[in-house]
Structure 1
Amino acid sequence: MFAAAKTTAQRGVSVSLWTRSISVSPAAPQHPPKNDTEVSRKYRFSYETAKNKYVKESDLNVPQDKFDFASYENKTNSTTVSEENAQLIPSIVALHARLQLPEEYKLSTLVKSLSCPMGEGNASNNQQMTIFGSHILSFYVSEYLLANYPRLPISILRSAIDAYIGNFSLYDVAKNSWGIDEDASSKLDKYLSNEPELFKYGRLRYLRKVSTPESNVVKYSPAQVNPYEISKSEAFANSVRSIIAGLYVHSGETATKEFITNHILSRQVDISALFEFKEPGKLLTRLLKTNNMHPPTVRLISETGRLSNSPIYVVGCFSGNDLLASGEGSSLREARVRSFVRALKAWYLYKPLDAKVPSDASFSGMFVDDGEKFY
């Protein structure tokens, strides 16, 4: 699965880069990309989806501790919520307790984590925290997968990382596990309910991107797209990344790693379902030949109902006298293909016992094999 392109800038002509297409999160809507630009924008690591736009330091009142995210203020229009005011927001206090965040984690930082960029002159947003948290998540999830599944092909590895920390996966964490609510009510609704102005900072605030308008409504796109509009899934995912960034700053690496293990890596992802083999027999033959093993042979192990309308065959895939995998099916061909697929998955999903990741104190280098030769 490769999408071809090439990038050169000669005589004012620019063409797109060679990009390797990968699978997206299983929760993502399945639709083919419309053009090469959409492909290059869609298939990225989690940290690459963040909008890497940095605020100029000259426009900010920078605190002495540059990692104190809650104390940044814009010189022209400051909307920073102080620690005293953050303690008056019930949803912020409840979220802090629900996630069992340490006492040194400031409530004002949690408020900042739920505020996405919504326009120029607004310094109190989670844009920089999102970039920081995306790199932290990508590092710990990548080292976990590389240490526990060292034979994964790069395309499957990218898909597995996206299944853990992609926008749709982190949206599920923020919305359904953590209970983060979005600020979807209008100003009129807030006025009629006599809601204090401070309470809006306890919910996720962002500029929603409308991709599918309501029925019988015609959408007229403006001449210039607002760069601050983001999708619902990306907004919730950015809140998770920002909260993790704040935890790293306030509590350090050990607490952050434990938090990611409990809330992100503890989620079940079926990595075997990410594989898709077009010709498993040929691929298995090449794999065995590369490792100096006998070519695969299929032998019938058992059968039942051969003359009925629902027969069952069980075959085994052997390399010499070694049984690699078995497969069953309603025909010999189906059972044969299944045995090939299971043999390949048994190879690629090899998992060492008691694997250590590089961030562990007791980690020592290990050699598993020569790496990916083909897939």
Structure 2
Amino acid sequence: MLASNRSSIHIAKRFISISPAISKINTINNNLNNNSVNHKFKFSYENAKNKQINQNNLSLPENKLDFLNYNNNSSSSSISLLSNDEAKLIPSIVALHARLNLPKNYPFNTLVKSLTCPTNEFSNLSSNNQQLSILGSHILSFYISEYLMTNYPRLPISILKSAIDSYIGDFSLYDLAKNNWGIEEDLTSKLDKYLSNEPEIFKFGKLRYIRKVTNPEINVTKYSNDQNSNTFELSKAEAYANSVRSIIAGLYIHSNNNDLIIKNFINNHILSRQIDIESLFQFKESGKLLSKILKSNNLQPPVVKLISETGRLSSTPVYVVGCFSGENLLSTAEGCSLREARIKSFNKALKAWYLYKPLDTKLPSDEGFNGMFVDQGEKFY
């Protein structure tokens, strides 16, 4: 069913797709017309502030997987990350490393980089998490999408998008980073740090970013020009979410692309969170939709029959009805009126269809995956 709907959905300046990365149709058409091969791609949760870097502006290390030593030659900033030995002196970094049960070969200075969002001070690629967050969003979109598509092969594309957003959206990852992982943001000023005699190195142990001011203080008027606004401004949810994506990207890099390690980490921290996919459905004219689904599968149209009732003449009657297709009982529902019970039975039958879950499913990234059967979809769309 999903094979016929492999297209991106544009919502709030963000592209969410089944695949980890999908091209913009208009951009590709323009490039084809201009005979250009420089295709631009949108990642699932890549923010608009993430700009592409020309490879000529990068100084590449000998080991192309050594992402910590990539430098942007066009940047005027010469600030680099802390060394791994220096990062070990930060208590919050050591605690976060142990709390997440990261492997021993995961460097502590990668955690420091994951908590450093792009700012005017840290604009060099080697000193912020901009590129790591893009890689992390790419990884998360792939593993979450394959999990949902394999376990719920009949999900409509809109529900699939909402389910992905429920797992790895900005607010979901913000809640994970702040309330589960215990990541703190740096709210103290330089004066406060000076008065408290805090070591300069300790500032790297907290999440640092330029805060986007949307609601100024009372009796304070905000004057700004969008053209001159700081391109590094992030909301709190975006900053926390990018730190989670960067940590996962660092784990992928330093595990030598070991799928098992990254999948176990995502299963333990992301997919272990309970998402009520059933609550994402909202049907309009559920009876017509159910009739079309049954007709496309060569089944008889739905018929609602009264099974039992009580208190018909009272102020609180209860009716129990069943939705049948021929002799097959699709669902049962109860309501205070026959109409309410009838609509509920249609909704339950539709959810039972869309939330079909195969037994003993294997993910495409698992060993021994030989493919799986997915129904041909809804022909009437």
Q: TM-score range by the shorter chain?
A: 0.7 to 0.9
Q: How far apart in 2 are the matches of 1:315 and 1:372?
A: 27
Letter in 1 for 2:238: E
Equivalent residue number for residue 41 of structure 1? 13
State the Cα deviation string for residues 134-166 of structure 1 (Å, max 9, x = none): 110000000000000000011111111111001
Equivalent residue number for residue 289 of structure 1? 295
Equivalent residue number for residue 64 of structure 1? 62
Does structure 2 retain, via aligned residues, the 8 Å contact 1:317–1:324? Answer: yes
Instruction: Give 1:216 shift.
Output: 2.0
Letter in 1 for 2:134: I
Q: How far apart in 2 are the matches of 1:336 and 1:43?
A: 38
Does structure 2 retain, via aligned residues, the 8 Å contact 1:19–1:40? Answer: no
Q: Greater shift after overlay, 266-275 or 56-65?
A: 56-65
TM-aligned CA distance change 1:201 to 1:117, over 3 Å: same
Instruction: Give 1:55 shift.
Output: 4.3
Could you tell me the percent identity over the aligned residues?
A: 64
Instruction: Give 1:193 shift.
Output: 1.0
Instruction: Give 1:109 shift.
Output: 0.8
1:327 match: secondary structure: strand
Kindly report the root-mean-square deviation, in angstroms, between the aligned alpha carbons of the 2 structures: 2.0
Q: Greater shift after overlay, 112-121 or 231-240?
A: 112-121
Does structure 1 retain, via aligned residues, the 8 Å contact 2:293–2:378? Answer: no
TM-aligned CA distance change 1:117 to 1:19, over 3 Å: same
Equivalent residue number for residue 119 of structure 1? 120
Of 232, 239, 256, 1:235 maps to 239
Of 150, 169, 172, 2:175 maps to 172
Letter in 2 for 1:236: Y
Does structure 1 retain, via aligned residues, the 8 Å contact 2:9–2:16? Answer: no
Equivalent residue number for residue 203 of structure 2? 200
Does structure 2 retain, via aligned residues, the 8 Å contact 1:115–1:201? Answer: yes
Is 1:323 the counterpart of 2:320? The answer is: no
Q: How far apart in 1 are the matches of 2:63 and 2:309?
A: 72
Letter in 2 for 1:276: Q
Q: Greater shift after overlay, 208-217 or 141-150?
A: 208-217
Instruction: Give 1:74 shift.
Output: 5.8
Instruction: Give 1:254 shift.
Output: 1.5
Instruction: Give 1:52 shift.
Output: 3.3
TM-aligned CA distance change 1:374 to 1:190, over 3 Å: farther
Instruction: Give 1:369 shift.
Output: 1.3
Is 1:130 the counterpart of 2:127? The answer is: no
Equivalent residue number for residue 39 of structure 2? none
Does structure 2 retain, via aligned residues, the 8 Å contact 1:69–1:109? Answer: no
TM-score using structure 2 length:
0.85
Letter in 2 for 1:49: E
Q: How far apart in 2 are the matches of 1:61 and 1:90?
A: 32
Is 1:159 the counterpart of 2:162? The answer is: yes
Of 351, 370, 374, 1:368 maps to 374
Instruction: Give 1:42 shift.
Output: 4.7
Of 300, 303, 311, 1:305 maps to 311
Q: How far apart in 2 are the matches of 1:206 and 1:59?
A: 24
Q: How far apart in 2 are the matches of 1:331 and 1:304?
A: 11
Of 241, 258, 264, 2:264 maps to 258
TM-aligned CA distance change 1:139 to 1:372, over 3 Å: farther
Does structure 2 retain, via aligned residues, the 8 Å contact 1:302–1:314? Answer: yes
Letter in 1 for 2:260: T
Is 1:248 the counterpart of 2:248? The answer is: no
Instruction: Give 1:273 shift.
Output: 0.7
Q: Greater shift after overlay, 99-108 or 75-84?
A: 75-84
Does structure 2 retain, via aligned residues, the 8 Å contact 1:73–1:80? Answer: no
Letter in 1 for 2:224: S
TM-aligned CA distance change 1:374 to 1:126, over 3 Å: farther
Letter in 1 for 2:203: K
Letter in 2 for 1:325: S
Does structure 2 retain, via aligned residues, the 8 Å contact 1:145–1:157? Answer: yes
State the Cα deviation string for residues 204-252 of structure 1 (Å, max 9, x = none): 1111111122222211123422111111101000001000111011112
TM-aligned CA distance change 1:373 to 1:172, over 3 Å: farther
Aligned length: 341
Equivalent residue number for residue 215 of structure 1? 218
Does structure 2 retain, via aligned residues, the 8 Å contact 1:73–1:79? Answer: no
Instruction: Give 1:371 shift.
Output: 2.5
What are the ranges of 5 or more consecutive residues in structure 2 without an aligned counterpart? Answer: 1-6, 18-42
Instruction: Give 1:328 shift.
Output: 0.6
Instruction: Give 1:54 shift.
Output: 3.7
Q: How far apart in 1 are the matches of 2:65 and 2:235?
A: 27
Instruction: Give 1:60 shift.
Output: 5.3
Does structure 2 retain, via aligned residues, the 8 Å contact 1:112–1:125? Answer: yes
Equivalent residue number for residue 3 of structure 2? none
Instruction: Give 1:362 shift.
Output: 2.1
1:49 match: secondary structure: coil
Instruction: Give 1:173 shift.
Output: 0.7
1:130 match: secondary structure: helix
Q: How far apart in 2 are the matches of 1:372 and 1:136?
A: 30
